[in-house]
Amino acid sequence: MERSLREGIRLFCLKRWDMALAEFLQINASQLDTKEVADLSYYLGLCYTKLGHFDDALSYLEQVVSEGYSPFRVRQCRITLAYIYTMTKRAEMAEFEIAKILKSGYESVIVYAIMAYALWLQKKYDPAIELYRKILSMDADNVTALNGLGYLLVDTGIDIERGLKLCKKAVTYKPNSAAYLDSLAWACFKKGEVSEAKVLFRKAIELAPKQTEIRIHQHIASGENI
């Protein structure tokens, strides 16, 4: 294996994403064999994803998927692609990738969580709720599903009391998550606990001052114009 490729993989395994990326980028792919080229594309895609450079990641991840060199890596890259698509609000594309994974017979909490979020983004609330419930049947303490289901039950008005309890449980696991604090604050507001909601919104904004959705929720709870 080419030295820089081997060193890049070592750094990647140590979670030194930026250093690994620098190592990979200096490799001349024309000097690699077929397997090494596949390895390079795979790790470049993952490094860019870890560093939040989603546009750069897409082409490498899609290359791994199209080449189909390793079924395991194809599945992992599809999951990563779906994650990127949800983070960049391309929910239909995320749903497409997850559907491909599920069609292959593979199931996991992560796959269901990404699918549920993609459905939520498309306002397909009922199937999203069912998927979050499925996750909790597999893992009762899954914090992503606790927050996701809690928020949906509150926001849709299906079961505000139950949603509030789930959001509270999520925050006990991750008390410094701005997203989870926002969900709990929104649940408190919907339950009529406005003072508590305001306190939670302030804390969420302190943790994530650039999150527009939190500020929108805060303005609504405060009765202010957006």
Closest C-alpha to 163, from 141, 148, 174: 148
- Local confidence band at 73 (pLDDT 50, 70, 90 cut-offs): very high
How far is the C-alpha of 69 from the C-alpha of 41, rounded, in Å?
11
The DSSP letter of residue 198 is H
Each residue's pLDDT tens digit, 35-70: 899 999 999 999 999 999 999 999 999 999 998 889
Q: Is the pTM of this model over 0.85?
A: yes
pLDDT over 80 at 97, yes or no: yes
Burial of 14 (0-12, 13-18, 19+ CB in 10 A): exposed
Whether 137 shows a pLDDT value over 70: the answer reads: yes
The superfamily (CATH) of domain 141-226 is: Tetratricopeptide repeat domain (1.25.40.10)
Task: Examine the pLDDT at 126 and tell me if it is beyond 80.
Answer: yes
Of the chain, the percentage scoring pLDDT greater than 70 comes to 98
List pLDDT tens digits, range 143-179: 999 999 999 999 999 999 999 999 999 999 999 999 9
